Amino acid sequence: MSTSLEEQIKQLKNTIAEMESQRTILGEDTVTAAPVPLKQKLAELEVQIEPPGPELPNQRRKLVALFHQN
């Protein structure tokens, strides 16, 4: 049985928060390093669940120079 994306996101956020709350027990280095893969997975899941933004029409960029004189 697979869990939904929302449930996976919630579980990852809870796990990261739990690790952060145990910083004094686990140590600074552990709490800094251990959640990195969890945060990467969380970012991947959040991208999957968020609707894509509106497509922008092709735009041309222009170079602008600003001069300020006192």
Render pLDDT for 19-46 as a digit per residue (tens, 0 to 9): 999 989 988 888 888 889 999 999 988 8
Residues 22-54 as b/e (b if ≥16 CB within 10 A, e otherwise) read eeeeeeeeebeeebeeeeeebeebeeeeeeeee
Specify if 60 maps to a domain: no
Specify if 62 maps to a domain: no
Share of the chain above pLDDT 70, in %: 81
Specify if 70 maps to a domain: no
Q: What pLDDT is attached to residue 1? A: 42
Say which residue, 53 or 36, is predicted with more confidence. Answer: 36
Structural domain including 19 reads 5-49
